[in-house]
């Protein structure tokens, strides 16, 4: 059985190199596979980098980048798909490179439980 979770809902004007607050990270401990859709609503150059991070506990400093779960969000109006099965109990987003112009985005997760027996 799968589940849809909106990790970021219409986030706008993110200029700084910041990450989603650990308290807002999403618990995904029962799931082992994820299709991640990055929908870019505004972006003005290709110097941006948007990543997904994971941690076993939702504490700043515990999060690390998920391999292959990043996009260069340019140009606006596109949706990018990434697939991963390399993550812990919590997921959050992070803008990795600061910019002078903000970016806007929505991130949707489609999660799948690990197959058993």
* pLDDT score of 15 more than 90: no
pLDDT digits (tens, 9 = 90+) for 74-116: 788 899 999 999 899 999 999 887 777 778 899 999 999 876 6
Architecture of domain 2-112: Sandwich (2.60)
Question: Which of these ranges, 9-18, 19-28, 49-58, 80-89, has the smallest mean pLDDT?
Answer: 9-18
Q: Tell me the residue length of the chain.
A: 117
**Helices then strands, each counted (H, E), the chain:** 0, 8
Domain boundaries, the chain: 2-112
With residues binned 3-state (H G I as helix, E B as strand, rest as coil), the percentages for the chain, rounded to 5, are 5, 55, 45
pTM for the full predicted model: 0.90
* Cα distance between the two ends of the chain: 15
């Amino acid at each position: 059985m799968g589940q849809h979770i909106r990790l970021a809902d219409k986030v706008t004007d993110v200029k700084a190199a910041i990450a989603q607050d650990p308290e807002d990270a999403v618990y995904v401990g029962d799931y082992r596979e994820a299709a991640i859709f990055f929908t870019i609503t505004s972006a003005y150059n290709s110097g941006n980098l948007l990543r997904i991070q994971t941690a076993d506990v939702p504490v700043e400093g515990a999060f690390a980048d998920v391999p292959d779960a990043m996009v260069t969000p340019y140009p606006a109006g596109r949706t990018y798909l990434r697939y991963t099965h390399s993550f812990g109990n919590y997921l959050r987003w992070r803008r990795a490179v600061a910019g002078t112009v903000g970016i806007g985005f929505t991130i949707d997760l489609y999660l799948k439980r690990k197959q058993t027996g």
